[in-house]
Structure 1
């Protein structure tokens, strides 16, 4: 029987394989998987984290896009009763097929930079299934996720993720923990979906629209960036100062603006009466 050839990291998949035992141990400690829990690992690569996750006796599903890694993963873990491998794209994966109960699924992943933001938004669409998420991401992305109002990192990503989740910046990971070493630093983040949203919007799609419009020209004031959606009077009506720039607003203020837009949308859609 021929041996599996060593796998070379592929640029097109953004692959950098974690090999530092100390970092692996620290990540597993942060996740703290337990027997019987439902875990999903996105992009297991060569199985550096997978070994510890499956060793916890949790029920582990993994999604791997790179077909060349499938034989390696099957060889290492395929006979274990608590391991289930899916070859495919996590961006197209239907998480409801995992048969996880409400807030039961724990998601883990070392996410390549080019898909990290869209994948997080894809997962947030299934937030009702997810208990928590632990991701290795580019450090600057984690800083944006965990940002607070008033700083340069506060923006669309911070607001829309924090609308759905509590965000915790856990720790920094240097390039030397990977093979090949990336040109950027990484960090571990924990996202915990809110069971009850602290600031629920009447229409989350309108919240997304307001936030996107506001930050399209983040150096301009709100009355300028939002003028296509609402008037200065609309902004003032929900106790928001239109002379502020978008990074100065917290989530609650953006929700009030979105709810005002929702009310206006309802008003304009009502048929006018002829008396």
Structure 2
């Protein structure tokens, strides 16, 4: 059995299998092993750690993760990569498992084998945000997330209040995790190059992560507030309670959503929960 390091270079492997990136799947291949190795280092995974990777494609990041000694569960929707990834499974000596299917429907707790697992992925552009929301708000909490997004999305995840990028995604991400952009990746690093640059975001779940019901309330109030972000809270929150709701949360009813910090939105979620209980 050959080791991962003995496999042919990625470009040769892709050519041998006649594979190209598929636009409909939002695929852009990252073939530079220097970059994928840096992402693996930023993920801080090593021997014995379980890593779930979504959308491995030709396996560039997968190779770098396997080099760390981590156990990799690769979830790939595109059947075209089966043969190429199965070669990687064989070369891994039992440290890689391939799961063919849609990550949006996957049960991460089962993939992780019932224990903790890290998520490290160069996410397909067209499902990156829905997957992140699933991991942030679902019943299963990852040990860490090291994810590549389009730079614009990465900036929205880590944005501070009062900035144009600050919105619902920032509030949900930062209420559940410590989030920061740890690496910029230029478009030219990909094959084919996308039209915009990418960035890697590192998210570490908070010990005081909101309970599921509080998280549901947070999603409701952020959807309302940012759904009409140019309006004052008393108007954007009208359907949920309007000015009295904002006041109950200790917020200025004339403020706009983009100026309210994460703590303010959590108070708003709590106030809305109390208000609904009172009506019930």
TM over 0.5: yes
| Cα contact 1:202–1:259 (8 A) shared by 2 | no
| Cα contact 1:127–1:193 (8 A) shared by 2 | no
1:120/1:201 Cα in 2 relative to 1: closer, same or farther (>3 Å)? closer
Please give the TM-score of this superposition, normalised by the length of structure 1. 0.91
2:245 is aligned, of 222, 227, 234, to: 234
How do residues 113-124 of structure 1 correspond to structure 2 at under 5 angstroms?
113-124=125-136
2:261 aligned with 1:258: no
2:263 aligned with 1:267: no
Say which is worse superposed, 172-181 or 21-30, in terms of deviation: 21-30
1:178/1:28 Cα in 2 relative to 1: closer, same or farther (>3 Å)? same
Q: Which residue of 1 aligns with 2:70?
A: 58
The 1-side partners of 2:261 and 2:81 are apart by 43
**3-state secondary structure, aligned to 1:78:** helix
Q: Which residue of 1 aligns with 2:51?
A: 39
2:165 aligned with 1:158: no
1:97 is aligned, of 97, 110, 115, to: 110
- Higher Cα radius of gyration: 1
| Cα contact 2:122–2:147 (8 A) shared by 1 | yes
Q: Report deviation, 1:233.
A: 2.7
2:19 is aligned, of 7, 10, 16, to: 7
Gaps of 5+ in 2: 1-14
| Cα contact 2:141–2:205 (8 A) shared by 1 | no
After TM superposition, which residue ranges in structure 1, 4 or more long, deviate above 3 angstroms?
99-102, 125-129, 199-202
Q: Report deviation, 1:201.
A: 8.3
| Cα contact 1:9–1:16 (8 A) shared by 2 | yes
The 2-side partners of 1:26 and 1:160 are apart by 27
Q: Report deviation, 1:204.
A: 1.9
Q: Which residue of 1 aligns with 2:221?
A: 210
Q: Deviation digits for residues 60-108 of structure 1, max 9, x if unmatched?
A: 1100111010100101333521111000110010112124456x21101
Q: Report deviation, 1:27.
A: 1.2
The 2-side partners of 1:151 and 1:125 are apart by 24
Q: Which residue of 1 aligns with 2:6?
A: none
Say which is worse superposed, 40-49 or 76-85, in terms of deviation: 76-85
How do residues 161-200 of structure 1 correspond to structure 2 at under 5 angstroms?
161-197=173-209
| Cα contact 1:201–1:255 (8 A) shared by 2 | no
The 2-side partners of 1:147 and 1:171 are apart by 15
Q: Report deviation, 1:128.
A: 4.6
Say which is worse superposed, 113-122 or 22-31, in terms of deviation: 22-31
Q: Deviation digits for residues 34-58 of structure 1, max 9, x if unmatched?
A: 1111111111111111112112221
Q: Deviation digits for residues 170-207 of structure 1, max 9, x if unmatched?
A: 1111111111011110001101111223x668632121
1:265/1:62 Cα in 2 relative to 1: closer, same or farther (>3 Å)? same
Say which is worse superposed, 227-236 or 214-223, in terms of deviation: 227-236
1:119/1:47 Cα in 2 relative to 1: closer, same or farther (>3 Å)? same
Say which is worse superposed, 188-197 or 149-158, in terms of deviation: 188-197
Tell me the number of residue pairs that the alignment of Structure 1 and Structure 2 aligns.
Answer: 265
| Cα contact 1:201–1:258 (8 A) shared by 2 | no
The 2-side partners of 1:110 and 1:97 are apart by 21
Q: Report deviation, 1:222.
A: 0.4
Aligned alpha-carbon RMSD (Å): 1.8
Q: Which residue of 2 aligns with 1:272?
A: none
